[in-house]
Amino acid sequence: MLGVEGLALTDCDRARLADPRVGGVILFARNFESSAQLRALTSEIRALRPVLLVAVDHEGGRVQRFRTGEFSAIPPMRSLGERFELEPPAASDAAFAHGATIARELRAHGVDFSFTPVLDLDYAASAVIGDRAFHADPIVVADLASALVRGLASAGCAAVGKHFPGHGFVAADSHVDTPVDARTLDDILRADVVPFAALIQEGLPAIMPAHVVYPAVDARPAGFSRIWIGDILRGRLGFDGLIFSDDLEMAGAHSAGDVVARADAAIDAGCDVVLLCNDFAAMDDLLARFAPPPQPHLARRMERMKGR
């Protein structure tokens, strides 16, 4: 899944997206000027290859790529957690409503889904997560995230839970560093993994692992770890949905080597789709040299992400 350069497809964008190894496009604020322009862009992508998924990070609060035109302002998810403290049913209803709004507005502009919800716990440690997290209590996070996912589904969007198994405990930002979370596996399973496990039981269609190292479990970041993805996420938790890597351009991914080595490491660990978001030279390098292995379940898992 690749980013595209601007408000309309360039010839270079078209060449990249025509490659059969490319399964989708992730959009950013640079790709949005107006509702009419966004519809034209997504129509252009569909006309080029109708099978491509079109996605965006559109969580609310700080992470909302489209903010004008026909798009509503979505509050940060922490506001729902704060409301839950006073009136839990009303907070859950609001989470459903926010999910439905996100989905309705994205689908009206030709976008299939958002990379949401954030399932990380709010330990008041991670600035990059911060108010993107619903709450510190994993049961509250599971409740509110479940409601948001149901709201998304009600208006035709799938959901992506992130950042497995949890990014909230560490202060370092994986965009610019390699965070290390020294807790034991039992500690992480008892807390951070609880919302993921709950939503998997409810049929969550996709998950994104964190570029965080948990050395008590594996020396590799979770997104490159067969233990986290194969043994724990697929095995212990029984997840059979789509797994997206986080952006391979982030500093937390660089330990695996160059861009092709990072993609190989993610696929080898069990990711289905790798993301490159902003570095167009790296995208060209990846497409020149990357040879992914056969992935027999990929088409079925990706089909669940198409907008309805």
pLDDT per position as a tens digit, 182-206? 999 999 999 999 999 999 999 999 9
Residue of 249 and 263 predicted with greater confidence: 263
135 is an active site residue: no
pLDDT at 173: 64
We report the CATH number of the domain holding residue 23 as 3.20.20.300
Residue 122 lies in a domain: yes
Confidence of residue 176 (pLDDT cuts 50, 70, 90): low
Residue 193 lies in a domain: yes
Residue 171 lies in a domain: yes
Residue 271 lies in a domain: yes
Which range of residues forms the domain containing residue 207? 2-303
pLDDT at 257: 82
Percent of the chain exceeding pLDDT 70 equals 97
For residue 255, pLDDT over 80 is answered with: no
Confidence of residue 252 (pLDDT cuts 50, 70, 90): low
Residue 120 lies in a domain: yes
218 is an active site residue: no
- Which one from 175, 240, 258, 297 is the annotated catalytic residue? 175
For residue 289, pLDDT over 70 is answered with: yes
Pairing of strands 63-64, 53-56: unpaired
Pairing of strands 242-247, 273-275: parallel
For residue 253, pLDDT over 80 is answered with: no
Residue 308 lies in a domain: no
Percent of the chain exceeding pLDDT 90 equals 92
Q: What is the pLDDT of residues 98-136, one digit of tens each?
A: 999 999 999 999 999 999 999 999 998 888 899 999 999
The pTM of the full predicted model, rounded to 2 decimals, is: 0.95
pLDDT at 246: 92
Q: How many domains does the chain have?
A: 1
pLDDT at 127: 86
For residue 256, pLDDT over 70 is answered with: no
Q: Which of 53, 60, 61 is nearest to 26 (CA)?
A: 53
Confidence of residue 1 (pLDDT cuts 50, 70, 90): very high
Confidence of residue 174 (pLDDT cuts 50, 70, 90): low
What number is the average pLDDT over the span 220-225? 96
pLDDT at 254: 72
pLDDT at 175: 67
| Average pLDDT over the chain, rounded to an integer | 95
pLDDT at 78: 97
- Which one from 13, 57, 218, 246 is the annotated catalytic residue? 246
What number is the average pLDDT over the span 291-300? 93
